[in-house]
Structure 1
Amino acid sequence: MELSILLLIFGSSEQFRRVKAIKNTLRGRRTVSNLYWALQYGMLDFVDALHGVDFDSDEAALNQLQTHGLVKADDSFQFQLTEAGIAKKQQLLSELLPIKHLALGSQYDVAKFMRRFNFAVQIVSEYSYSNNKYYPQSINYFEDQLLKRWFVQTKDYDLPHQFHDLLDTFLSSLNSDDLAVIFAQSLVGHGYSGLTVDQIAAEHHLDPTIINIQLIQMYGALLELVLKRPQDNSFVMLTAGLEKPVIAKSSKETFEMFVRQGNGNLNEIAKKRHIKLTTVYEHLLEAAILLPVNQFPYHDLIRSKMRQYLETIHNENVENWSFEAAQKEMPNLTFFEFRLFQIYRSKSADEN
């Protein structure tokens, strides 16, 4: 995908944003730094939404946008949209479903569901023509076995008719003939090999990156439709194992140990878990960023004196706070407490 297009979609005219932070958020690089900036950019719902996607280089993407006057940037690869950039962003968004439909990729492996469903369509299409001699799509062994089990369990329940009804309901819900056609063109079936993203893009006069995003959005919407159906529906097996954890497993273990412990001794947690104290800090910061503000014990981790001081100096633009400046006023202030308070203020503002 073209990174420049995604930078426009997730860029801002009011805030300089880091190219790498946006890219790493979408790819699911879950460092505390990336998650923190995702919070500041309002992108937490899109963490890992484009898992495994390849992008072009940061410098090339930024240079392209600057050349066309769409952004202004500094030497540290931070950028802000110009008026022309805002107009281009609106044009791109008009070609997509509401951007919220991309966010499901943060909760579920939509790309895997896309591969499963497309293969399932081929299987059912050939089955409806009583054809058992065809070249199946390439898919890994475990997915292949899941699809075989699914077909054996559901083929006697008028599967072609059920598929027709599901697709009819879904494509109608898009309220867009163009999107419905694009979705159908991507499928593989009896006597039809489907079109590639580049072929679809050429036919519809759109950038291939936009087609890719449209497909991810549409499959996310289709996945939501299947998930809302009764658990005994014929398509439920296609959704098995797709859910992603909100917090990384190791971070969750550290956070839950802290909650159970009750005494706030982080050194004890580090010793019991055989990890460094700095890793404990990172795990707790991840939990603070990703959990609702009322589910994280901020007051147990920020000393009251430090909290009172930070309350007196805080301003609206918390991402611009300087730890060095704050530490000069309070030498005992730790970066862990400082960052926690930034997270608390940001999430409190968002949830209010």
Structure 2
Amino acid sequence: MNSYILRFFSYHQPRRVRVIENLLVNRRTVANLFWGQQYGLLQWLGANRSLTRREYDTTIDELVAQGLLVVDEQQQARLTVAGVQRQEEDRDHQYQPHFLDWYWLANTNQLGQRLLLGMQVVSELAYHNVRYAPVTVGYGHLLAVKQWFARANRDQLAATVYRDLTQLTTGLAGADPRLATVLTDGLVGHDLPAWTNAQLGQQLGMAPADMLVLSHDLLLGVAAYCQHVPGPLHDLLAPLLNEGPLSKSAVQTLNLYQHGHSLTQIAAQRHLKLSTVREHLLEVAILCPAQLDWDQLLPARKRVALVKRYPDPDVTTWHFQSQADDDGAAFFDYRLFQIYQGREAHE
């Protein structure tokens, strides 16, 4: 776990310890999304949803004790010189993901459960076996797989799933042969238990930290395949796939805003607080900036005034200058401008 967490910190940029944790476990606040973007880590959102606070804090303490990380009073951390050296040494043999751009597409924990049970059901069908113990998954996945199985053409299901899996594993192997190995050996078959991550890591000569990254990356690759290729795997997993990076509520707010509704009108129509509507548009600004009319949302006159107040091109150093009798609009403009300037700097 130490090498896994170490990869998310920098020598040149202090990074908030809690933001890294919140990104990995998928706490999608605007602040976490914004700082994740500034750290270049937004694509790791939801990469380790099972990570516990105790496990994370213990790892941070160990990295500090080893002299690899320093944490200040504001809970911002930097790599030490020794930490940079360790990070570079780890990078030489670390697994480098291929599908992180699809970070928003699926909850890989949920996707993995449904895939595992679905493939077990098909394997037992191929052997005409109706007496077996299904793998332990959430009740919702059990119902979903039953419904998928009931709708399928059972005479053709095993053959079509085999063709689907063959096409999928061929594509995965093109990115990294280990992805295809972990997918196939990690499935439950007739009289064939799945290999654990520990066993797979031992077989492939990979550290547990790398197996965490590879497993998440693999399931994002499976999700991307299912989104684009029709077939039984798509039918099984499509209900778990998101349509885009935005939350459903943010999409509704964006649609109303794009149709000319003011923020106040959207709040009244959707029975939301005005602050919630603003948070939705900030989420859009971070994740889907091209869908906003920036000249309308943050006119040039506001940008001119804000650049005088916040002249530093490094937006991570800014501190909000509150104003009297502000109803939240000033902070909304501040964060919007921070996102706008940060995006300009990255481009």
The alignment's TM-score, normalised by the length of structure 1, stands at 0.82
1:135 to partner: Cα distance: 1.6
Separation in structure 2 between the aligned mates of residue 103 and residue 282 of structure 1, nearest angstrom: 23
Q: Does residue 343 of structure 1 match 2:344?
A: no
Counterparts of 1:138-287 in structure 2, within 5 Å, are 138-152=136-150, 153-157=152-156, 158-159=159-160, 161-162=162-163, 165-166=166-167, 169-170=170-171, 172-176=173-177, 179-201=179-201, 206-229=206-229, 231=230, 233-244=231-242, 245-261=244-260, 264=262, 266-287=263-284
Residue type at the aligned position of 1:296: L
Aligned-pair distance for 1:20?
A: 0.8
C-alpha change, 1:137 and 1:17, in structure 2 (3 Å) is same
Identical positions, percent: 29
User: Residues 24-103 of structure 1: matches in 2 within 5 Å?
Assistant: 24-103=22-101
Code of the aligned partner of 1:308: V
Q: 1:56 to 1:100 in 2, by over 3 A?
A: farther
How many matched pairs?
339
Question: What's the CA shift string for 1:298-345, capped at 9, x where partnerless?
Answer: 333435443213334533311112223x969xxx99222111111111
Out of 118, 121, 125, the position equivalent to 2:119 is: 121
Whole-angstrom CA distance in 1 between matches of 2:56 and 2:114: 32
- CA distance in structure 2 between the partners assigned to 1:250 and 1:11 by the alignment: 32
Structure 1 equivalent of residue 17 of structure 2: 19
Is residue 2:296 matched to residue 1:300?
yes
Encode CA deviations 1:44-103: one digit per residue, 9 max, x unaligned.
333334345435355422211112222222122211123433343345455554334244
Q: Secondary structure at the match of 1:269?
A: helix
| Contact kept in structure 2, 1:40 and 1:319, CA below 8 Å | yes
User: Does the Cα contact within 8 Å between 2:115 and 2:237 map onto a contact in 1?
Assistant: no
| Closer, same or farther: CA 26–59 of 1 in aligned 2, 3 Å | closer
Gaps of 5+ in 1: none
Aligned position for 1:291: 288
**1:235 & 1:333 partners in 2: Cα distance?**
46
Kept in 1, the 8 Å contact 2:161–2:233? The answer is no
* C-alpha contact (below 8 Å) 1:201/1:211 kept by paired residues: yes
Seen in structure 2, the aligned counterparts of structure 1 residues 277 and 80 have a Cα distance that, compared at 3 Å, is same
Per the alignment, residue 315 of structure 1 pairs with: 312
Cα RMSD for the two superposed structures: 3.1
Describe the shift of the 1:154–1:19 C-alpha distance in structure 2 as closer, same or farther (beyond 3 A).
Answer: farther
Give the C-alpha shift of residue 28 in structure 1: 1.9
Q: Point out 4+ residue stretches in structure 1 off by more than 6 angstroms.
A: none
Residues 251 and 284, structure 1, Cα contact 8 Å, conserved in 2: yes
Residues 236 and 272 (structure 1), Cα distance of their counterparts in 2 relative to 1, 3 Å cut: closer
1:106–1:92 distance in 2 versus 1, CA, 3 Å: farther
Distance 1:272 1:16, change over 3 A: same
Unaligned regions of 5+ residues in structure 2, if any?
none
- Displacement of 1:105: 3.6
- Superposed CA offset, 1:124-154 (max 9, x none): 3333333332221122333223323434514
Give the whole-Å Cα distance in 2 for the aligned partners of 1:146 and 1:28. 24
Residue 8 (structure 2) aligned to one of 10, 13, 20: 10
Counterpart Cα distance in 2 of 1:18 and 1:321: 15
Change in Cα spacing, 1:172 to 1:301, as seen in structure 2 (3 Å) is closer
> Aligned equivalents of 1:316 and 1:194: distance in 2?
52
Give the TM-score of the pair, scaled to structure 2: 0.83
**Contact between 1:128 and 1:160, CA under 8 Å: does it hold in 2?**
no
